[in-house]
Structures are given as structure tokens and as C-alpha cells.
Amino acid sequence: MNEIFKTHLEKFIKIDEREFGEILKFFRIQSVPAKQNLLEEGKVCRDYYFVLKGILRLFFLNEKGVEQTTEFAIETWWITDNMAYEHGRPSSFSIQAIEKTAFLSISRENQENLLREFPKMEHYFRLIYQRAYAASQMRMKYFLSYSKEEFYFSFVKSYPEFVQRVPQYLIASYLGFTPEYLSEIRKRQIS
Amino acid sequence: MNEIFKTHLEKFIKIDEREFGEILKFFRIQSVPAKQNLLEEGKVCRDYYFVLKGILRLFFLNEKGVEQTTEFAIETWWITDNMAYEHGRPSSFSIQAIEKTAFLSISRENQENLLREFPKMEHYFRLIYQRAYAASQMRMKYFLSYSKEEFYFSFVKSYPEFVQRVPQYLIASYLGFTPEYLSEIRKRQIS
DNA sequence: CGGTCTCTTGACGGAGTTCAAAGCTAGTGG
DNA sequence: CCACTAGCTTTGAACTCCGTCAAGAGACCG
């Protein structure tokens, strides 16, 4: 399972077996069943998660008490409440497994030590954050430029795997509208 | 003017006068009047911008030909089309000065060389991207949890300086609605 | 003081929400 | 392997937030 992480790292940095072993020591490997929470809104956010197998989602409860999903993470994606993680503060989000999920986790202290000891990991994380930020910048663009209907179809086209693996009401939530409206959109397309 | 950059850097890394001089060589310093573009949609995005004095905005033309602003940058903020910058591709956005603006710019090749030569700058940029990503994650949360009216008032509260310095129609655009509706919201509040 | 850019007003329409109920599907235990 | 149940998806009707359009009122600049 750890091989997934090694293969992923090698896309960004050169790394040998011994080094990888040293790096792994900073992480914990865990596995949770579907529906289980890794982090709960209001609790201090200590860890950053890397998905090895499965899907996680990030969400919060809006004022009506409805869960609002804002991010998914599949294999080789990182996920956390970054603001809370960085400042060691209570989280504004919860994180939950959608499928049975295996993942690595690293605490902020461990991450700091890791980056100090392995400058190539500083390089790696700089690239990871840079890409994550670039992706979220584009997401905001799509969000503002498309109608909800166009937004849904562009999402399906870009991430067909999500539509397979994630229930529709979560996709609707992620895209910022109701499951009822998503159902209506889909009906239009089929006919 | 360069002192602004040095003071900013010192919040993240230790740096002496000689080193700062070396680092500065990777940048160009420029100044543009209000309304001038630094980057135009469709043209290759080569530079990353750091605002010393003034305000920049990032925007694109939607299908109706209306400018949609998605980001502002004031003093000590970085701004670019990150996706295009990273891949050296044509930009999906334009960047324009709102006020007369002085800024530093660095090309991607220069940034790569800078980070290779000064590992502490790799550390600096890792932190910058991490924060930018965390902020955009929270922005998405606000975007999805608030009504347009609440979103406007929370924005005014968090960034009063923007409301002072930026015309209302740009703020409306940034928040994802029309200047007419913003006007209506403001009328409600006053009465 | 003229002209252009920005902000306000109001009438109307439509995209998307809400609520309630029925139809499906998949997982679970017997 | 079937039956039951809980959770997910679909339907439809009423409603509302917000966009569109068009016109007027300020404000700022040369």
C-alpha cells in the first residue's frame, strides 16, 4: 500500500528505498470504513491526510443544518482543513470516508520536522500546494462563469470517476445546488 | 520601495542585506498607471507578480462579454494565473491595475533558479502557497454557506480597506453578483 | 461646465430552492 | 437467497432570490 505513496512522490522528486523508509516514519497509516469521520467540525485539526485507496470528503454544516461538501479526495490526493491545520485551531470542517479508505496521516509537528530534515520534501510540498492553489483558482473561475447546469456537465466531463463513485446528492452539494435540481438537470440531458 | 519586499520576507525567513541583494536580481521592478493591463487573456503567462504599492485585479471575460473579477491583490500579495504560469501556457485571465501600481515580477525560469540557489526561498514559497490555498479553501466555504447579502457584509467586515479603494461594481463582480443587486443590498442596510 | 464613468431605481422574468410524497436501490440480517 | 428497511433519487407545484434591461441621477475629470 505504501508503494502508492512512493510512486506518487517519485513523480516530483528523486528518492531511494532507504530515504523513503526514513520519510515514512513521520507518517501513520490508517484505514476506516465508509461513513466514518477522520475529523469533526469544532475539534482541533492536527493532521494532514493522503489517500492511498478510497475517497474522503470535506464538509461543514450550514445554518440550516444541511451538510455542505466542498472537496473530495481520491487516491494520491491530500486533504485537510488547511487553515485550522496550519494554526493548530479547531476545524471549520469535518472529514468523512465515502468508501472504505486507507490513508496516511501526518501531524503538523511531524511535517515541520520532516521538511527540516528532508529539503526535497519541502520542494515536494511547495509543488503540491502550488498545484492545489492553481486548481482552486480555476475551480473558482468555473464556479463563477458557468450556470449550474453547465457546471455540472463540465464536472462530469472532467471527473467521470467521481460520478461513478460518489452519490449524486454529494455531487450536487459539492457543485453548490440541491439534489432535486441535479435530478431535473439529468432528466433534461437524457431525453 | 524594495524595503517593502524585504520586510515582508523577514516575516517568513532570516535574511541578510547581501543575500537580499542577490535574491532581488531575479526580479524586475515595474510601475503601471491605473487601468493598465500586466497580462492579457490568451497571451502566455510568464510572470508572477508581487504588489509593492497599489492594487491589481485578476479577471476574465464571460460568455456575455462581461468582465468577471475573481481576485484582488494589495500590498505584499502575490498574484497571477497560477495554472498558466506553472505550465507556461496562454492565460485564462487578464491582470489589470486598479490604482497606479508598483510591483515586482519574476519569470518561471527565474523562480526555478532562485529556489534552486536559495533553499530558504523554497521554504518561503511553500508557506506562501500553503496560505494562499488555505485562504481559497475558506473563501469557497463562505461562498457556499452565505446568501449573497450575508456574503457582502462578511466581506465588508473582513476587508474594509477594499471597500474604500475598489469601485463597487468590481466588488459585486468579485462576490459573484450584479452591481444592481449590490446597490439594492446597500439600500436595505442604510435604512 | 460638458462628457464619461459609476451608482441607483424599478418592473419583469427565470433559474434554482423548498417542501412533500412516491419510487428505487442496495445493504443487512434472518 | 430472499425480504425488509433505510437511504438515495425522482416528481411536481409554489415560491423567491437575483439577473436583465432601461433609464435617470451623481460624481469625477479634463
pLDDT digits (tens, 9 = 90+) for A110-140: 999 999 999 999 999 999 999 999 999 999 9
- The predicted-structure confidence for A25-59, as pLDDT tens digits, reads as follows 999 999 999 999 999 999 999 999 999 999 999 99
Q: Is the pLDDT of residue B63 over 90?
A: no
Distance CA B99, CA A43 (A): 42
Residue B188 pLDDT class (50, 70, 90 cuts)? confident
**pLDDT for the residue numbered A104:** 97
Q: Is the dihedral of CA A165, A170, A175, A181 positive or negative?
A: positive
Cβ separation of A62 and B122 shorter than 8 Å? no
The answer to whether A118 CB is within 7 Å of strand C is no
Question: CA of B70 and C1' of C12: distance in angstroms?
Answer: 29
**pLDDT for the residue numbered B187:** 87
**pLDDT for the residue numbered A190:** 56
Q: Is the pLDDT of residue B105 over 60?
A: yes
Nucleotide closest in space to A178 (CA vs C1'): C17
- By C-alpha distance, the chain A residue nearest B70 is A141
Residue B57 pLDDT class (50, 70, 90 cuts)? very high
**pLDDT for the residue numbered B23:** 97
Counting one residue from chain A and one from chain B, the pairs whose CB atoms sit within 8 A come to 100
Nearest residue to B34 via CA among B54, B15, B12, B11: B54
Question: What average pLDDT does the segment B112-138 reach?
Answer: 97
Looking at the complex, report in whole angstroms how far the Cα of residue B53 sits from the nearest Cα belonging to chain A: 23
Cβ separation of B92 and A141 shorter than 8 Å? yes
Q: Is the pLDDT of residue A142 over 90?
A: yes
Q: Is the pLDDT of residue B111 over 90?
A: yes
Q: Is the pLDDT of residue A96 over 80?
A: yes
Give B-chain residues touching A135 at CB under 8 angstroms.
83
Question: A107 in helix, strand or coil?
Answer: strand
Q: How many CB atoms lie within 10 A of CB A26?
A: 19
Q: Is the pLDDT of residue A189 over 90?
A: no
- The predicted-structure confidence for B146-183, as pLDDT tens digits, reads as follows 999 999 999 999 999 889 899 999 999 999 999 999 99
- Reported pTM: 0.94
The answer to whether A145 CB is within 7 Å of strand C is no
Distance CA A132, CA B34 (A): 31
Residue B190 pLDDT class (50, 70, 90 cuts)? low
Amino acid at B100: K
- Residue showing cell 461513513: A35
- Cell numbers given for B156: 465588508
Residue B69 pLDDT class (50, 70, 90 cuts)? very high
C-alpha to C-alpha distances, A57 to A87, A128, B110, B133, B170, nearest whole angstrom: 21, 19, 37, 17, 33
Share of chain B above pLDDT 70, in %: 98
**pLDDT for the residue numbered B161:** 87
Q: Is the pLDDT of residue A146 over 60?
A: yes
Question: What average pLDDT does the segment A84-89 reach?
Answer: 96
**pLDDT for the residue numbered A149:** 94
Give long-range contacts, CB 8 A cutoff, 24+ apart: B16-23: B19/B118, B22/B118, B23/B114, B23/B118, B23/B121
Residues β-bridged to residue B28: B105
| DSSP calls for chain B | -HHHHHHHHHTTS---HHHHHHHHTT-EEEEE-TT-EEE-TTSB--EEEEEEES-EEEEEE-TTS-EEEEEEE-TT-EE--HHHHHHT-B-SSEEEESS-EEEEEEEHHHHHHHHHH-HHHHHHHHHHHHHHHHHHHHHHHHHHHS-HHHHHHHHHHH-HHHHHHS-HHHHHHHHTS-HHHHHHHHHHHH-
Distance CA A114, CA A5 (A): 15
Higher pLDDT, A76 or A65: A76
Cβ separation of B93 and A141 shorter than 8 Å? yes
Contact with chain B for residue A158, Cβ under 8 A: no
CB-nearest to A122 from B122, B140, B141 is B122
Pairing of strands B56-61, B67-73: antiparallel
- Cell numbers given for A102: 486507507
- Cell numbers given for B98: 486598479
- The predicted-structure confidence for A66-85, as pLDDT tens digits, reads as follows 999 999 999 999 999 999 99
**pLDDT for the residue numbered A7:** 97
Contact with chain B for residue A2, Cβ under 8 A: no
Residues β-bridged to residue A105: A28, A49
Cβ separation of B134 and A82 shorter than 8 Å? yes
H/E element, A38: strand A37-39
